[in-house]
Copies of this chain bind each other. A is one copy, B any other.
Amino acid sequence: MIPSYVLKGIFLDTPTPGELRCREGYALCRGGHFAGFYSALPQDLAALPLHDFSGQLILPGMCDLHLHAPQYSYCGTAMDLELLDWLQRYTYPEEGRYRDVAYARRGYTNLTRDLLHSATTRICAFATLHTDATLELMRQLSEAGIRGYVGKLAMDRNSPDFYREVTPEAGLAETRRWLDACTHGEYPGVLPMLTPRFTPSTSDAYMEGLGQLSREYGVAAQSHLSENLSEIEWVKALCPGTAFYAESYARYGLFGGEQPCVMAHCIYCPEEEDELIRRNGVFIAHCPTSNENVIAGIAPAARYLREGYHIGLGSDVAGGHTLNLFAVMASAVQVSKLRWRYVDKSQSPLTIPETLYMATSGGGALFGKVGLFEEGYAFDAIVLDDSALLNHLPFTPGERLERYAYLSDGRPQAKFVDGRRLF
């Protein structure tokens, strides 16, 4: 049990999309939860320990709804390659090396260290298809204090021989071994998520089995959806009888409803797909840096947000080149401007408060009461040091946030998760 304490600073959060709430004062942490905000410190709290960050911005910890953990080592590399070349020359060979747990340990140590010092407090990560390496990632994240979901990949087709499960049965047996090793609190704060890489990589039989495991273990699912047009055509060819991409997951119970579900990208969803996303409460992981880097396109994130879909941000490392969700926020604004300019003038561009919403309360809802400084919410907070960005101009807290998003390296000065101070 974490002892109660008080955190002082300028608290920014987003109770609704587009609303930037700014409160200067004292936040009470009790039992790992936010337990009250005070503009002046009440007498009965004066004896509690005080973390004093007067004048500094404090934000909710950020949630990265989509990243590929084993790809972190080479993010920002070979972005000039065509996507298919990039997958064949970088992604599959590197992910394949994670069969060696010692190798995986090294790569995941690198990732965990940098995640720890980023703005991110909670994640949904893809690992590789190797059970033991995936458990190693879960162990490291849990020990570092990062919260969230990790997925052992399910891939039994259309992948290179050296990086594929040989039959659905073999894959399902391994998935079960994995679930048995991590669903009982073995890795506090870190839970499994079923992870068919995407429909082309995962046969119907494997999908069906994953759906059964989802119900049996009460485990959520994550995957990719409607990222690019040729992928969508491919899924149509692979899945006769489906009316749209999402049905290839939904027909096996892997598209929200009972269990939470996260789908990355959603750039080209037809209307019926949108309806199913909304009806099933599926979380959209909007990954603007990745969608730009791999030339997928620009998702209609502004529309999703303003129409009330569940939507958060994803770094999608290493299609995305950075773990820094502040940079992803700025990128989301920027590409939404180009979408307005070249694709669709019906939605005005995203704003920084809207992207902060996605990075915090929007994505945070996947994890429960996460992403706001409100009674009962998890006490996840990051403290920003923007002193290098201050000058003779009188910036408002909102302007300081914006400059931090566009100009900083996104590494906070202090970080709290479930009330525990990580640094």
Contacts and interface: CB of A to CB of B under 8 A. Distances in A.
Given A298-B338, A333-B79, A341-B295, A392 B73 contact: yes
Please give the count of copies of this chain that the complex contains: 2
A342 B297 contact: yes
Interface in A391-409: 391-393, 395, 399, 402-403, 405-407, 409
B402 A79 contact: yes
Nearest to A389: B76
Given A295-B341, A334-B292, A338-B338, A406 B76 contact: yes
Contacts of A263: none
Contacts of A349: 80, 295
Contacts of A147: none
A335 B94 CA distance: 28
Interface in A57-78: 73-78
A299 to B, nearest CB: 12
Number of chain A interface residues as a range: 35 or more
Describe A's contact surface by its main secondary structure. helix
A325 B347 CA distance: 31
A78 to B, nearest CB: 7
A122 to B, nearest CB: 23
B292 A406 contact: no
Given A76-B405, A322-B407, A338-B342, 18 more contacts: A75-B406, A76-B389, A76-B406, A76-B407, A79-B406, A80-B333, A80-B351, A80-B402, A94-B393, A110-B392, A292-B337, A295-B338, A297-B341, A298-B342, A321-B407, A335-B338, A338-B338, A342-B342
